Chains A and B, each alone.
Chain A
Amino acid sequence: MSKYRSHILVCVGTGCQSQESVELIDQLNKEIDSAGYKDEIQVVKTGCFGFCEKGPIIKILPEDVFYIEVKPSDANEIVQEHIVKGRRVERLLYEEPNLNKRLEEQHDIPFYKKQIRIALRNCGLIDPENISEYIAVDGYLALGKVLTEMSQEEVIKLIKDSGLRGRGGGGFSTGYKWELTYNNKNDLKFMICNADEGDPGAFMDRSILEGDPHSVLESMAIGAYAIGAEKGYIYIRAEYPLAIHRLEVAIKQAREYGFLGERIFGTEFNFDIELKYGAGAFVCGEETALLNSIEGGRGEPNAKPPFPAESGLWNRPTCVNNVETFANIPPIILKGPEWFSKIGTDKSRGTKVFALAGKVNNVGLIEVPMGIKMREVIFDIGGGIRDNKKFKAVQTGGPSGGCIPEELLDTAIDYESLKKIGSMMGSGGMIVMDEDNCMVNIAKFYLEFTEEESCGKCTPCRIGNRRLHEILIKITEGKGTKEDLEDLKRLGEMIKITSLCGLGQSSPNPVLSTLKYFYEEYEQHVINKHCPAGVCTALKKYEIKAEHCKGCTLCKKVCPVDCIAGNVKEAHIIDPEKCIKCGACFEACKFNAVENNKVVS
């Protein structure tokens, strides 16, 4: 047999790997071998399918059958039923919760219906550790075309025309950035890939690097040619061991094939890439801090200007682009800027990858055209809120972004619209919150993060964020006053305009946006000393309703601090002085006699 008749694609992204997808592959191979189908069926490791909620995911081709939550112990049934007998393993198919129907094929699943995959085009399609599969899907063709047929100016013009903007958060025009670096003449320039993905809950860049590392290498070489650099660095966090491994494999293969190294495609162009590991400091995602870190200095930002395009790494002209930005470049070159600019909106062209997380049904990695409504992403792709709870807010842009309330859910996702409502595109984290989330507590969480991650170089960020955090702690402990709300706003705005780098300039956003859209909830905390979501421990109150209490003594037994008094068959009483608000009695009571003050009385 010269050709496999069927391919079983198994996701080996970090998410699925943690759910034993590697063991699953071993098991599948073993089963296929023992059934005598070794030469007919190929098991392929691929990158992330995005549907991480339901991992490990496997897809069987050519039938395009999509199985979810597959365990190593399912391998036998899959091989015996699907491979040998051609029968679907029904119980492993995705069941659409709204239709109550099991769906076989990937393109039928609503999660995938509204998605357009450009940056993630190869994730879940090819084996990331096999360069020939990347070549088969037009890999390195764009690099070959650029090097042999286009001048540096033509490449820059093409990227400028496409309207591609930086996907790392800022949204600066990629073509323009390349042009600035190109215009600064120097005998040594650098091309840098920013893979320091630091937003809590974000994993877009990691998935691209794990699923399609060659597309980033190819684009870096294209960019390097355009700006006139011969050396590139990928600054990647050391917490991404799998992405690092895939990149190492990819770089080695690219060198063997001559896509990296000297005289690439027989031209005068030389380019090579080195990996630099970051130690996990959030601020190192800021480009000047990143450059300082590569040089071996402290990860602290510099004042701009000078911009890296003029004086970056080792004071040479340097261009820093994000992983996802790079992943967009080969298709733009091959299909043309007109194709790309038709997708998305006028000012924000193309697509954006989001890591959808939080209280939605379908947690995962999605790529949607710019201009799509928040509502479509959360309810159509995300499948709505878990456990039929009520939607409360969605947080975009990580610690730099803001919380968007229900009334703004019809906002289009693009750089300008999100900024206008006090959030930002950011790198693509999207965290959905429901009625059980306290917005003051959310703001506190992000401020705790930025306070810790502030590098300390400039005063507004170092001290200002600390004060913001302290005020928020005070409010959640029930000690806040109305003046504190004024202070939060004034201080937040001050930090934004006086901080040195993007971290401080955006860190008050979670506070300011929640103040703007959920002011009432803040007021409840400071005036009524009440947390409507029932999250803030200090504001919780537990009470036993005498008329419901049967005197079963269960609450008394579970109470860890013995603050409940009462005899058998008599109503019990909680001593609020001693109560630590752990909620054990609330969970334990079978008669709903214990009440918390979640709902305003």
Chain B
Amino acid sequence: MSTIKSLDELKKIREESLKKLELRTVGAEKESIKVLIGMATCGIAAGARDTLNAIIDEIDKRGLDNVYVVQVGCMGYCYAEPVVQVNMPGKEPILYGNIDAKKGREIINTHIEKGELLEDLIISKSFHRI
């Protein structure tokens, strides 16, 4: 590779490298949005991996740096798999059911970017953990 000859060149490389490293810092931020995807046997059997990959791809495409995706175990809604839960800071978690890849992208688009709920897909709005 050719050597770096200016501060701007360095900053450019930094931007590119940073994308690969975002994950290391975003998890530690309390303010970030969490997207939980049910990845137990039932979720996987229902195609949760496609949903997961689509969601990650969509986040990446839109350059959302405050969203991170976590796969979780069975949430108990096996009939509605794949399920996706969105935790926005300071708000009640929203649980969506029957989310395929296309609907997954929609969640990122509508709920996370625009802040509008996808009412038709919601299976639970407020659930309290014991």
Residues of A whose CB lies within 8 Å of any CB of B are 1-7, 9, 40, 61-64, 83-87, 107, 125-126, 132-133, 135-141, 144-145, 148-149, 256-259, 261, 263, 265-266
On whether the beta carbons of A7 and B24 are closer than 8 Å, the reply is yes
Kindly state whether residue B4 has any CB partner on chain A within 8 Å.
Answer: yes
Known: A3-B60, A84-B39, A107-B28. A140 touches B1 (CB 8 A): no
Interface residues of B in 37-75 (CB under 8 A from A): 37-41, 44, 52-53, 56-57, 60, 68-73
On whether the beta carbons of A257 and B23 are closer than 8 Å, the reply is no
On whether the beta carbons of B19 and A86 are closer than 8 Å, the reply is no
Residues of B whose CB lies within 8 Å of any CB of A are 1, 3-7, 10-11, 13-14, 16-21, 23-24, 26-28, 37-41, 44, 52-53, 56-57, 60, 68-73
* Chain A residues in 8 Å Cβ range of B28: 64, 107
Given B23, B41, B56, B70, which contacts A7 in the complex, CB threshold below 8 Å? Answer: B23
Task: Output the least CB separation between B23 and chain A (Å).
Answer: 5
* Chain A residues in 8 Å Cβ range of B38: 86
On whether the beta carbons of A62 and B69 are closer than 8 Å, the reply is yes
* Chain A residues in 8 Å Cβ range of B11: 141
Q: In this complex, what residue of A is CB-closest to B10?
A: A144
* Chain B residues in 8 Å Cβ range of A107: 28
- 5 closest A-B pairs by beta carbon, nearest first, are A258-B3, A86-B71, A62-B27, A136-B17, A62-B68
12 A-B Cβ contacts within 8 A? A1-B53, A2-B57, A61-B23, A62-B23, A85-B44, A133-B17, A135-B10, A136-B18, A137-B21, A140-B10, A145-B7, A257-B1
Task: Output the least CB separation between B16 and chain A (Å).
Answer: 8
A61 to B68, CA, bound (A): 10
Given B1, B27, B70, which contacts A256 in the complex, CB threshold below 8 Å? Answer: B1
Q: In this complex, what residue of B is CB-closest to A261?
A: B3
Q: In this complex, what residue of B is CB-closest to A131?
A: B17
* Chain A residues in 8 Å Cβ range of B6: 144, 148, 265-266
Q: In this complex, what residue of A is CB-closest to B41?
A: A85
* Chain A residues in 8 Å Cβ range of B72: 86-87
Task: Output the least CB separation between B18 and chain A (Å).
Answer: 4
Task: Output the least CB separation between A45 and chain B (Å).
Answer: 13
On whether the beta carbons of A148 and B7 are closer than 8 Å, the reply is yes
Known: A3-B60, A137-B21. A84 touches B44 (CB 8 A): yes
* Chain B residues in 8 Å Cβ range of A265: 4-7, 10
On whether the beta carbons of A136 and B73 are closer than 8 Å, the reply is no
Q: In this complex, what residue of A is CB-closest to B68?
A: A62
Q: In this complex, what residue of A is CB-closest to B73?
A: A87
Task: Output the least CB separation between A24 and chain B (Å).
Answer: 19
* Chain B residues in 8 Å Cβ range of A135: 10, 13-14, 17
* Chain B residues in 8 Å Cβ range of A1: 53, 56-57
On whether the beta carbons of B26 and A62 are closer than 8 Å, the reply is yes
A1 to B102, CA, bound (A): 16
Q: Number of residue pairs across A and B with beta carbons under 8 Å?
A: 108
* Chain B residues in 8 Å Cβ range of A83: 71
On whether the beta carbons of B56 and A257 are closer than 8 Å, the reply is no
Q: In this complex, what residue of A is CB-closest to B71?
A: A86
Task: Output the least CB separation between B82 and chain A (Å).
Answer: 12
Task: Output the least CB separation between B6 and chain A (Å).
Answer: 5
On whether the beta carbons of A62 and B70 are closer than 8 Å, the reply is yes
Given A63, A136, A141, which contacts B21 in the complex, CB threshold below 8 Å? Answer: A136
On whether the beta carbons of B14 and A138 are closer than 8 Å, the reply is yes
* Chain A residues in 8 Å Cβ range of B26: 62
On whether the beta carbons of B5 and A266 are closer than 8 Å, the reply is yes
A149 to B10, CA, bound (A): 14
Task: Output the least CB separation between A148 and chain B (Å).
Answer: 5
On whether the beta carbons of B17 and A132 are closer than 8 Å, the reply is yes
Given A2, A85, A126, A258, which contacts B73 in the complex, CB threshold below 8 Å? Answer: A85
A133 to B3, CA, bound (A): 17
* Chain B residues in 8 Å Cβ range of A3: 19-20, 56, 60
Task: Output the least CB separation between A60 and chain B (Å).
Answer: 9
A7 to B44, CA, bound (A): 20
* Chain B residues in 8 Å Cβ range of A2: 57, 60
On whether the beta carbons of A86 and B40 are closer than 8 Å, the reply is yes
A256 to B4, CA, bound (A): 9
* Chain B residues in 8 Å Cβ range of A259: 4
* Chain B residues in 8 Å Cβ range of A87: 40, 72-73
Task: Output the least CB separation between A288 and chain B (Å).
Answer: 36
* Chain A residues in 8 Å Cβ range of B10: 135, 140-141, 144, 265
Q: In this complex, what residue of A is CB-closest to B18?
A: A136
* Chain A residues in 8 Å Cβ range of B69: 5, 62
Known: A2-B57, A62-B26, A62-B27. A258 touches B5 (CB 8 A): yes
A232 to B21, CA, bound (A): 31
Given B4, B27, B39, which contacts A257 in the complex, CB threshold below 8 Å? Answer: B4
A258 to B7, CA, bound (A): 12
Q: In this complex, what residue of A is CB-closest to B37?
A: A86
Task: Output the least CB separation between A218 and chain B (Å).
Answer: 11
A84 to B48, CA, bound (A): 11
A194 to B17, CA, bound (A): 31
On whether the beta carbons of A256 and B3 are closer than 8 Å, the reply is yes
* Chain A residues in 8 Å Cβ range of B71: 83, 85-86
* Chain B residues in 8 Å Cβ range of A137: 21
On whether the beta carbons of A125 and B23 are closer than 8 Å, the reply is no
* Chain B residues in 8 Å Cβ range of A6: 23
A291 to B40, CA, bound (A): 62
* Chain A residues in 8 Å Cβ range of B7: 141, 144-145, 148-149, 265
On whether the beta carbons of A85 and B27 are closer than 8 Å, the reply is no
* Chain B residues in 8 Å Cβ range of A132: 13, 16-17, 20
A2 to B5, CA, bound (A): 28
Q: In this complex, what residue of A is CB-closest to B55?
A: A5
10 A-B pairs besides A40-B53, A85-B73, A133-B20 with CB distance below 8 A are: A61-B24, A62-B69, A84-B39, A86-B70, A87-B40, A87-B73, A107-B28, A136-B17, A136-B20, A149-B7
Task: Output the least CB separation between A85 and chain B (Å).
Answer: 6
On whether the beta carbons of A5 and B20 are closer than 8 Å, the reply is no
* Chain A residues in 8 Å Cβ range of B16: 132
A385 to B16, CA, bound (A): 46
Q: In this complex, what residue of A is CB-closest to B7?
A: A144
* Chain A residues in 8 Å Cβ range of B20: 3-4, 132-133, 136
* Chain A residues in 8 Å Cβ range of B18: 136
A261 to B38, CA, bound (A): 52
A125 to B4, CA, bound (A): 24
A206 to B118, CA, bound (A): 53
Task: Output the least CB separation between B30 and chain A (Å).
Answer: 10
A190 to B47, CA, bound (A): 62
